[in-house]
């Protein structure tokens, strides 16, 4: 194809292309791709937090607490640590240790093959690992369900014990694990908890977290003057400070950058970057699959 002057030639043909073709050509045209992945991609891959996947795994918790979905349940203040771990151990198997590979993630990985890309995600599930992404290209900014932190955040290290999680699932009854299985912080003795951010204390960020963060920041720096495609996939408005707002800010700071948002919801786009914004509102899984097939 003949390259005309100016960035993003694909946009001049925008009206004649399907959304999948448009995005595919933008990806091919980009010099660097920064992908922000939210819960919408895991939902598109079938890892939904409501419906059968939830009701099959937690009928007892739903009966007791009338939970509406797994997100609400995972943030609930359980009555004690034995109940907390009865829930979290089952949740960890479902959304991390036993999480199957998702087609939408495979499609995204295939699309990025040979590309100059980096991913930041607020998802703490294991979907990128299951789909065999190069994890050096993925920054999990909201922790991982397979990791634990001191509930007092007394030190910046994380722990993991998959065998103990499986034992908790096997040996629990009446929504309680045996007291002897409750894990404690080796430094201060407080209970451990899943590695995640909360409003008061933030999140325990270990050395591995900081390595991921440095690689991501390095990628942004190396590509800051290029034709960068900021591709947001299934990012809602729960934590806009991690993906949505920085992507919009970086787009505004680079006249060659383009902000592409894949979302069926029409979120507010700041006026300054509207000319640099493309919205893909068709089904995420369908668009990724069409592109990966081409």
Instruction: Name the site residues for Zn ion (rule: CB under 5 A).
Output: 150, 152, 154, 185, 187-188, 190
The residue among 69 and 157 lying less far from Zn ion, judged by its C-beta, is 157
Minimum CB separation of residue 158 from Zn ion in Å reads 12
Provide the b/e sequence for 12-47 (b: ≥16 CB within 10 Å): eeeeeeebbbbbbbbbebbebbbbbbbbbbbbbbeb
Helix (H), strand (E) at residue 232: strand 228-233
The residue among 154 and 269 lying less far from Zn ion, judged by its C-beta, is 154
The residue among 154 and 164 lying less far from Zn ion, judged by its C-beta, is 154
The residue among 132 and 187 lying less far from Zn ion, judged by its C-beta, is 187
- What are the φ/ψ torsions at residue 195 (nearest 5 degrees)? -70, 95
Give the C-alpha separation, 15 to 289, whole Å.
21
HSE-up of 137 (CA within 13 Å, CB side)? 21
Minimum CB separation of residue 187 from Zn ion in Å reads 5
* Contact between residue 179 and residue 140 where contact means Cβ atoms under 8 Å apart: no
The residue among 156 and 252 lying less far from Zn ion, judged by its C-beta, is 156
Minimum CB separation of residue 190 from Zn ion in Å reads 5
HSE-up of 77 (CA within 13 Å, CB side)? 1
The residue among 41 and 147 lying less far from Zn ion, judged by its C-beta, is 147
List C-alpha distances in Å: 280 to 34, 37, 50, 79, 259: 16, 14, 24, 43, 11
Only one residue has tokens 């992404």, namely: 133
The residue among 147 and 150 lying less far from Zn ion, judged by its C-beta, is 150
Which string of DSSP letters, residue by residue, matches 76-127? Answer: ---SSHHHHHHHHHHHHIIIIITPPP-HHHHHHHHHTTTS-EEEEE---SSH
Minimum CB separation of residue 147 from Zn ion in Å reads 15
The residue among 120 and 150 lying less far from Zn ion, judged by its C-beta, is 150
Q: Output the six-digit token pair for 206.
A: 């270990």
Give the C-alpha separation, 240 to 255, whole Å.
22
């Amino acid at each position: 194809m003949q390259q005309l002057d100016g960035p993003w030639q694909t946009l001049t043909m925008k009206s004649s292309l399907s959304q999948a073709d448009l995005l595919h050509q933008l990806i091919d045209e980009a010099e660097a791709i920064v992908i922000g992945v939210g819960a919408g991609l895991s939902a598109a891959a079938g890892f939904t937090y409501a419906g059968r996947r939830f009701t099959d795994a937690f009928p007892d918790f739903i009966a007791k607490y009338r939970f509406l979905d797994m997100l609400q349940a995972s943030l609930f203040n359980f009555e004690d640590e034995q109940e907390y771990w009865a829930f979290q151990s089952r949740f960890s198997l479902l959304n991390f240790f036993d999480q199957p590979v998702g087609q939408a993630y495979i499609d995204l990985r295939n699309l990025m093959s040979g590309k100059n890309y980096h991913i930041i995600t607020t998802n703490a599930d294991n979907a990128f690992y299951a789909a065999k992404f190069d994890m050096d290209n993925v920054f999990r900014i909201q922790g991982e369900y397979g990791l634990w932190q001191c509930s007092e955040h007394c030190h910046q290290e994380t722990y993991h014990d998959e065998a103990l999680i499986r034992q908790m699932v096997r040996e629990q009854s009446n929504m309680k694990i045996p007291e002897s299985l409750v894990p404690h912080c080796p430094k201060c003795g407080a209970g451990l908890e899943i590695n995640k951010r909360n409003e008061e204390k933030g999140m325990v960020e270990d050395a591995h977290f900081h390595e991921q963060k440095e690689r991501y920041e390095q990628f942004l720096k190396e590509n800051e003057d290029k034709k960068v495609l900021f591709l947001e996939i299934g990012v809602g408005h729960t934590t806009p400070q991690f993906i949505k707002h920085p992507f919009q800010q970086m787009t505004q700071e680079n006249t060659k950058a383009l902000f592409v948002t894949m979302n069926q919801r029409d979120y507010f786009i700041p006026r300054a970057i509207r000319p640099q914004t493309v919205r893909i509102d068709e089904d995420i899984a369908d668009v990724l699959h069409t592109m990966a097939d081409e």
